[in-house]
Amino acid sequence: MPWKNVQLNSGYEMPTIAFGTWKLGNGQGTIDQVDQAINVGFNHVDTAQSYRNEQEAGQAIRESGLSRSDIFITTKYSGLNGLDIKTSIQNSLNNLGVSYVDLYLIHHPSLARPDIPTAWKEMEELKLKGLVKSIGVSNFGVDDLARLLASAKIPPAANQILLHPYVYAQQAPIIDYAKKHDIVIEAYSSLIPLTQRPGGPVDVPVKEIAKKHNVAPEQVLLAWVNAKGAVCVTTSSKKDRLQRYLDAGDLKLSDAEIEAIEAAGALGAVGRFSHVASEVVKGDRSEIKTSFFLLLLAVCATIVLALRVHG
């Protein structure tokens, strides 16, 4: 279960797997689910103002008996009720029942009002006041990050983005830019290929790898996220699944396995696995040739992987 901590550019460490509260709703059920995750071994809880369950997350954390220093709390400025950043962080601290959060993110670049530099200056002030230990962003593209860094006195510690094999090629420029500027990438919705896109190209190498290592397919995807150097934000209401997620920290993928997953993921632009599918079909010959090349590459990678598994 060795999901190691990652060193942030703020000087603090962050656990590399987090229990996310998105879509959990609110009420006692949410408290129970966060409590279950903590009991299983999660020590990083990721929430947001727009999830409307900061109070439940905070209650579960308090009832866990863990000291404040033993739990990492991430929440996000979501522009809820039209409130500004300074007011929103106070509301979040009150909801969570804590005096500071470990990581505070701007949930989306569109929420950085009136503009990214001005909003980021307000985030920097929160850190200087000790209300947050680290500050970061979510869903920021390369241009957004460049605009922020142009005037920032304190760089963002993290950028939380959608990341799974079907969008990896699209997100790679963001990942590369973040690495260049010492910004940690956090990945959400990494299990989409299994939960929302079953039967797609990624299934083949993922299931082959799972069989080889005697693990569940979702553990393979989480291990892939880990291999890409990203922090994994995930969730489940099932205790056994949460345990498997933690156990995935033990799984180390080979370069060939990573390449096979990514080659299959590149096929997300074909058929029903991407919103750009129709554009590929209607595109010029160069686009069609590229699509065919990706298909051939994925097939070859899968065959090679299968031979290694059964050889």
- Which sequence positions are flagged as catalytic? 51
User: Which residues have C-beta within 8 Å of that of residue 94, sequence separation ≥ 6?
Assistant: none
Burial category of 225 from C-beta neighbours within 10 Å (exposed 0-12, middle 13-18, buried 19 and up): buried
Pick the closest to residue 164 from 260, 241, 228, 72 (CA basis): 228
Residue 62: CA count within 13 A, CB half-sphere: 11
- Cα separation, 115 vs 26, in Å, equals 32
DSSP string of 136-184, one letter each residue: EEES--HHHHHHHHTT-SS--SEEEEE-STTTHHHHHHHHHHHHHTT-E
Pick the closest to residue 105 from 81, 128, 126 (CA basis): 126
β-strand partners of 186 = 160, 231
- Cα separation, 229 vs 121, in Å, equals 28
- Which secondary structure element, helix H or strand E, spans residue 296, and what is its range? helix 285-310
Q: Quick check: helix, strand or coil at residue 99?
A: coil
- Cα separation, 241 vs 78, in Å, equals 29
| 107 annotated as belonging to a binding site for a ligand | yes
Annotated binding site for substrate: 107
